[in-house]
Amino acid sequence: MLKQLQPPVRMDLKKKRSGSFQKKEKKVGVNEQVLDLSGMSLETLPVVISPSINIALVTTLDLSSNFLQIIPESLTARLLNVVVLDVHSNELKSLPNSIGCLTKLKVLNVSGNHLQSLPRTIENCRSLEELNANFNMLIRLPDTIGFELINLKKLAVNSNKLVFLPSSTSHLTNLRILDARLNCLRSLPDDLENLINLEILNVSQNFQFLTTLPYSIGLLLSLVELDVSYNNITTLPNSISCLGKLQKLCVEGNPLVSPPMEVVEQGLEKVKVYLRQMINGQHKNSVKKSWAAKLKRFSTFSRANVNGNINYQQKEGYIIPNYNRIGVFASPNYVYAPKGSSTFMGDLLLMAKGVQQQDQMDIDERKFLFDRFPTVPQGRHQFIEPSLNRKLEEQIKLLRV
């Protein structure tokens, strides 16, 4: 039994022809005992590595660069004090369930194996700060991984076959680095804003699979680097303009429409300005103008409409099909519909006044519009633009004379 004050040792074991291990001791950091079995072409591990080694005292175990296909359950269960476990570059197809016994484990490197999943018991490794599972065949991660590994600071799962990240990932509040590139991700968790300490997010090279980013990505207030390159993203969330600490944004290899590539090529700050202007509604869309002109051409604001002297044939002229969604706002399927619910003209007036909530309209104006204008069914339209063009505003002013 080693005393606590005894100088720590590094045990580099070399395999003899007899099958036993030769120990070579080196001094290392305080309170560390490192057992290094890396690069020894090992295919199996004995239950007892060496009679002279108390495996329970080992703090770092390096089994990397061998040909191991399994790690004995009994061996893992006895690694009571291990802090670092490195088994990268082996032939492992699974990890022992007893890995959940490693309550002091802080660093786990299982990269470069053939793992298709991680044992659920890994959630018991609540001291874990770094998990490297790159270059495997992972299809999914444990569903509740984010609820249990609350101390995790780095999660690296690049070069796997992940289709999604579990929703619990958004609860890793201490996470600083998330590397999920080179997978098959279809989407990211919605509640990313909970990752308050995340500094680096890399979801690049998911190619045609990743088409959108959640709005909450702009709420990662500690984010310094964001890499979403080589995906199939057409629109960046406007919320990215709120990332005050962001220093690096990689978006190349995407069919971007908003912001356009000519803006992206001008650098991060220009992208932020563009997205900020999108939030403020300063970028005018020519499609919206043509839509407004279409309404005018269909006599939406005609005097016949104001006086209510419209027959059915005239009302047929108000039907405007295929305008479910234009630009960034939804337009009505029909300008005219039988009397029933909210007023179409009422919403237009709200737009002209820059008001988005109907309950902010003056009661008298609402009554005026209810009495004089055709209506559309509830839910058929939703306007989020703060204003119309000058012609529409003038038409609405005429209605109020």
- Among 255, 272, 301, the domain boundary falls at 255
What are φ and ψ of residue 60, in 5° steps? -130, 125
Q: How far apart are CA 12 and CA 50, in angstroms?
A: 12
CB-based contact 72:45 (threshold 8 Å) = yes
Q: What is the pLDDT of residue 282?
A: 59
159 lies in the same domain as 51: yes
318, 329, 356, 369, 372 from 343: Cα distances, Å: 15, 17, 14, 7, 10
Q: How far apart are CA 32 and CA 109, in angstroms?
A: 18
180 lies in the same domain as 313: no
243 lies in the same domain as 296: no
Stretch 100-119: mean pLDDT: 96
CATH number for the domain harbouring residue 190: 3.80.10.10
- Residue 16 CB-density burial (10 A; 0-12 exposed, 13-18 middle, 19+ buried): exposed
- Among 255, 278, 298, the domain boundary falls at 255
Phi-psi region of 196 (alpha: psi -120 to 50; beta: other; left: phi over 0): alpha
Q: For the whole model, what pTM was predicted?
A: 0.66
Residue-wise pLDDT tens digits, 118-172: 999 999 999 999 999 999 999 999 999 999 999 999 999 999 999 999 999 999 9
Residue-wise pLDDT tens digits, 204-248: 999 999 999 999 999 999 999 999 999 999 999 999 999 999 999
Q: Count structural domains, the chain.
A: 2
Burial of 361-398, coded b for 16+ CB within 10 Å and e otherwise, reads beeeebebbeeebbbbeeebbebebeebeeebbebbee
H or E element, residue 21? strand 21-26
327 lies in the same domain as 229: no
382 lies in the same domain as 238: no
Residue-wise pLDDT tens digits, 331-351: 333 333 333 434 444 444 444
Give the residue numbers spanning the domain of 242.
Answer: 9-255
249 lies in the same domain as 372: no
CB-based contact 132:156 (threshold 8 Å) = yes
pLDDT band at 281; cut points 50, 70, 90: confident
> What percentage of the chain carries pLDDT values higher than 70?
62
Average pLDDT, the chain: 74
Whether residue 79 is predicted with pLDDT greater than 70 in this model: the reply is yes
328 lies in the same domain as 233: no
CA 65 to chain CA mean position, Å: 33
Phi-psi region of 310 (alpha: psi -120 to 50; beta: other; left: phi over 0): beta
97 lies in the same domain as 25: yes
pLDDT band at 107; cut points 50, 70, 90: very high
96 lies in the same domain as 170: yes
Note whether residue 203 is domain-resident.
Answer: yes
